[in-house]
Amino acid sequence: MSLRSPVGRVLGLGAAGEGVGHWWTQRVTSVALVLLGLWFVIALIGLPDRSYETVTSWMHDPFNAVMLSLLVGTAVYHSLLGVQVVVEDYVSDHGSKIVSMLALQFIHFILGALGIFSVLRVAFGSAA
Amino acid sequence: MSNPKFERPLSPFMMYRWQYSNTLSILHRVTGCALTAGLLLFVYWLVAVASGPEAYAEAQSVFAHPLTRVLLVGFSFAFFYHLLNGIRHLVWDAGYGFEKPRARATGWLVFLGAIVLTAILWVLVATGGAA
C-alpha cells in the first residue's frame, strides 16, 4: 500500500518535492559539455596563434560565437548544479547553506552574463 | 553519546579502508570544484578579448606568467580528468561497467588518459607558437 497521494504520484516529484530535475539536468549539461569542451580545446589548438587579431576574427565567426556562448552558459549551469551538491553535502547549518548558495548563484550568473556578453560583443563588432 | 553501548553505527565512508575507487570519486569532485574556479580565468579571458587590444595584451602577460602557467596546467588536467571520469559516470548511470575488474580498468584509463591528454595539450601549445 502506498501512502502517497494520487496527485503526488502523478507529479512524480518524490519526498523532497523536487523530483529528478537537478540530477537529470546535471547529466544533460554534462553530455553537452563533453562535446562543447572538446570542440573548444580542439579549436584553440587549431588557431595559428593566439594574437588579438586571430582570436577576435575567430570569435567573429557565427558558428564559433554561438558554440562559445553555449559553452559558457552550459559550463556555468553545470558548475552551479555541481557546487550546489557540494554545499548541500558539507554545509550543515541552514543559514550558512542559504547564504553560500545565494553567493554562488550570484557569482555564476555574473560569470555567465560576462562571458556571453563578451563573446557577443566581439561577434557583433566589426571584423578584425 | 558517550555511552559505548549506544554508539550509533558509523557511515560506510568512516570505516571503509582507503581504496582507488574513493580516491577517483573524490578527485572527480575536487576537479569539479577546481573547474568552477577555472571558469573565473576563462571568463576573464573572454572579457579581455571583448575589451580591446590593450586589455588582451595585459591578459596575455597574465597568462604567460609562470605561476599562471602552473595553474593552467592544473586546470587542464582537471578538465580532462573531469571530462573522462564524467563519461565513466554517465556509463554507470546507464547501468554498465560496475564489475570490479572493469571499474578498476576504466579508473586507470581515466586517470592515465587525463595525464596523457594534458601532456599532449601542452606539447602542442609549446610547439604551436607562443601564447
Nearest neighbour of A31 by CB, restricted to B39, B47, B90: B90
Predicted confidence (pLDDT) per residue in A52-110, tens digit: 999 999 999 999 999 999 999 999 999 999 999 999 999 989 999 999 999 999 999 99
Say how far apart CA A119 and CA A36 lie, in whole Å.
Answer: 15
Percent of chain A with pLDDT over 90: 79
- The reply to whether B37 touches chain A by the CB within 8 Å rule is no
pLDDT at B4 over 60: no
Q: Which structural domains are found in chain B, ordered by start?
A: 30-127 (1.20.1300.10)
The alpha carbon torsion through B55, B60, B65, B71 (nearest 10 deg) reads 100
Q: A75: which chain B residues are within 8 Å (Cβ-Cβ)? A: 35, 39, 42
Inter-chain contacts counted by CB atoms under 8 A, chains A and B? 78
| Confidence at A24, pLDDT banded by 50, 70, 90 | very high
Mean pLDDT of B58-79: 97
Query: With b meaning 16 or more CB within 10 Å and e meaning fewer, what string describes A20-38?
Result: eeeeeebbebbebbeebbe
Give the pLDDT of residue B130: 45
Whether the per-residue pLDDT at B102 is higher than 90: the answer is yes
Among residues of chain A, what percentage have pLDDT more than 70?
98
Q: Identify the residue among A22, A30, A91 best suited for mutation to test binding to B, counting B beta carbons within 10 A and taking the highest.
A: A30
Average pLDDT over residues B72-79: 98
- ipTM, two decimals: 0.89
Query: Which residues fall within 8 angstroms of residue B52, CB to CB, at 6 or more apart?
Result: none
Domains of chain A: 20-124 (1.20.1300.10)
Q: Which residue of B has its CA nearest to A124?
A: B50
What pLDDT shows up at residue B1? 46
- pLDDT at position A1: 73
| Cα–Cα distance measured from residue B22 to residue A60, given in angstroms and rounded to the nearest whole number | 44
pLDDT band at A127 (very low <50, low <70, confident <90, very high): low
For range B46-54, the mean pLDDT = 97
